[in-house]
Amino acid sequence: MVPDIADLFEAAANCIAACEPAEKLRLTHEAAAAFRRGELAPCAEAPGPAAIGAPGRPPRPKLVLPRDVPQRGLGSVEGRAAFLHAIAHIEFNAINLAWDAVYRFRGLPGAYYADWVGVADDEARHFAMLSARLAELGFAYGDFDAHNGLWEMAEKTAASGLQRMALVPRVLEARGLDVTPGMIARLRSNGDDASADILEVILREEVAHVAAGSRWFHWHCEREGLAPVREFIRLVREAVRGGVRGPFNRPARLAAGFDDDEIRLLESLE
């Protein structure tokens, strides 16, 4: 049993609030294990969620605008470290995003909470893998600037589980399905098979994470009497300036719960 934790929502809040990466990972793995053992569950009588704010994060990396994050080639060790740092930052944010999906949205089926607790546990493991690889290259999380785009979308979708499922896993995280195969190829062409192997694991598991977003987006649409494809494209048009960039990894997106009509319509928004 996780000591002194009332329920799953309190555990999720504690994971989000933890600032140091090692502590966030420890709390995440402990809470996920307790949930799997049946020792943590959502409580219907728990206080409602607090207004969304900044999650716990270390003093570094410095957060800058996306355009101010320097782009480096993969031909040097520092360039590969900067690239892996950017992925590690996404995974660190993804831990918070998964726990916020647990904490913020109440009264949902047990399978919903099981999905997002599992995602949080996976994202913590991904971050640890990338951190270890950064250390092998002589760097650490915080050594490069980063941006806050993922969490900004969480703030914009805090009032709606439907919008959260549509715009975080199915837009922002699904982008990784499209670009990661090319990243893996570039790493291998530069002789960095160790880093490429990590991204292979992440890509495989992120398909399941995006699929969880698809599953619960469809669940919300069914409950609200909405046509999923039409609603998804409407939300993308409203929330994502310029649409979603392709080219799209069609096999991965189909495996993650997209259908051909959605992909075709996304391509028409470019």
The residue ranges of DSSP E strands in the chain, in sequence order, are none
**Average pLDDT in the chain:** 94
Each residue's pLDDT tens digit, 205-239? 999 999 999 999 999 999 999 999 999 999 999 99
226 lies in some domain = yes
1 lies in some domain = no
d(CA 194, CA 196): 5
Domain that holds residue 203: 8-44+74-269
**Spatial contact of 56 and 84, defined as CB atoms under 8 Å apart:** no
Each residue's pLDDT tens digit, 19-53? 999 999 999 999 999 999 999 999 989 999 999 99
Q: Phi and psi of 25, rounded to 5°?
A: -65, -45
30 lies in some domain = yes
Q: Quote the number of domains for the chain.
A: 1
67 lies in some domain = no
pLDDT tier for residue 149 given thresholds of 50, 70 and 90: confident
Nearest to 87 by CA among 101, 105, 69: 69
Tokens 């760097």 — which residue?
139
Quote the Cα angle for 175-216-167, to 5°.
35
Q: When comparing pLDDT for 80 and 241, which is higher?
A: 80
CATH number, domain containing residue 133: 1.20.1260.10
55 lies in some domain = no
95 lies in some domain = yes
3 lies in some domain = no
64 lies in some domain = no
